[in-house]
A = this chain, B = another copy of it.
Amino acid sequence: MSNQLNDAPLTLRDVAAAAGVSLATADRVVNGRPGVSAKTALKVHEAVQRLGFRPLAAAAELARSRSWRFAVVLPSGGNRFMMDIADNIRAQADWFRARRIAVEIVETDVFDADRLAAELAGLPGRFDAVALVALDHPRIRAAIDDLVEGGMAVVTLVSDAPSSRRQHYVGIDNIAAGRTAGSLVGRFLGPPRNGEAGGSVGIVTGSGSLRDHAERLFGFGQVLAEEYPGLTRLTPVEGRDDPGRNRDLVRRMLADTPDLVAIYNTGEGSVGIGEALAEAGLARKILCVGHELTPATRRMLLDGTFAALVAQDPGHEARSMARVLHALVSGQEIVAAQEHIRVQVILRDNLP
């Protein structure tokens, strides 16, 4: 393969000339528009191949002076992570503007399937594409399918609805995220090869009905069951991502579980866990692993209350969502590698 990229600045006009056709015909072939005979299409394709032509995106963008309206549906009263997503979307105002994309962030109670479904039903006509934090619920699945049916581009964000017809999911593999948390807890407590680690592991989760939390729980349980049989998983307690509720739940957990060695939080509100531990004088004595980097979790990582965080990058997700929706509406290809959202492990030492 050559190390020399993009030598000659070819234009569609050059291709048209080489193929012996007009600019318009060359354009039709290159963009797969109808109304060209198979024979001439072949000539153009050959010329494109031979010359190595690639259209100049900026020119196409400019000429195709069409504009788009995107809706982004986020949970109302959102937690810190969702606020980060929203901020990162706003930070892209210039990027959107440069592509004639008008974006509206819509806040809804995504936990209420009826309200979310109603919100989605009101989108067609007003928007060309939508990104939403999905609830994996039959009613939502149907609402998503209706949008796609109606010709809208739909991507799920952070929490997926895989059985729907959404074109893309922008977020992490939450089973992998849960497994990663499980491995961190297991290994940090002591590697299996030196005799089994023992004790109880508490689990705090947001809500059983959010697919991402449920998947994390599943992945976490998988690893602990398979590889750390000496560890006992307590029944998950639901704090709805609320620090206050989490604090109360962990207080009780500490009181009820003398052999508690670790706590895993599948969702937000980790700060409540830190508070309960601090009260009991158990911070850094009990191994904690949680999700997402926020000012609160950053602090607790630095002071040792949390040993590790499993995280996803809200900036990457916001940018990926924008690129994917834009590619979908304008018929461009999406670069899979670039859009893959990684499950990150954050320790005190590699804090960004």
Residue contact A349 to B176, C-beta cutoff 8 Å: yes
Q: Does A38 contact B (CB under 8 A)?
A: no
> Chain A contact residues: over half helix, strand or loop, or mixed?
mixed
- Residue in B3, B94, B183 whose CB lies within 8 Å of A348: B183
Q: Does A31 contact B (CB under 8 A)?
A: no
- Contact string, A110-141, partner B, CB cutoff 8 A, digits 1/0? 00000000000000000000000000000000
Copies of this chain held together in the complex: 2
Contacts of A233 in B (CB 8 A): none
Q: Does A103 contact B (CB under 8 A)?
A: yes
Residue contact A315 to B342, C-beta cutoff 8 Å: no
Q: Does A255 contact B (CB under 8 A)?
A: no
A5 with B90: in contact, given A338-B315, A344-B342, A345-B350 (CB under 8 Å)?
Answer: yes
Report which A residues bind B (CB closer than 8 A). Answer: 1, 3-7, 9, 54-59, 61-62, 67, 90-91, 93-94, 96-107, 176-177, 179-180, 182-184, 187-191, 193-194, 219, 223, 284-285, 287, 307, 310, 313, 315, 319, 335, 337-338, 340, 342-350, 352
Q: Tell me the nearest residue of chain B to A59, going by C-beta.
A: B62
Contacts of A346 in B (CB 8 A): 345
Residue contact B3 to A98, C-beta cutoff 8 Å: no
Residue contact B9 to A67, C-beta cutoff 8 Å: yes
- Residue in B104, B176, B319, B343 whose CB lies within 8 Å of A5: B104
- Residue in B190, B193, B223, B287 whose CB lies within 8 Å of A349: B223
CA separation between A4 and B102, bound complex, in Å?
A: 8
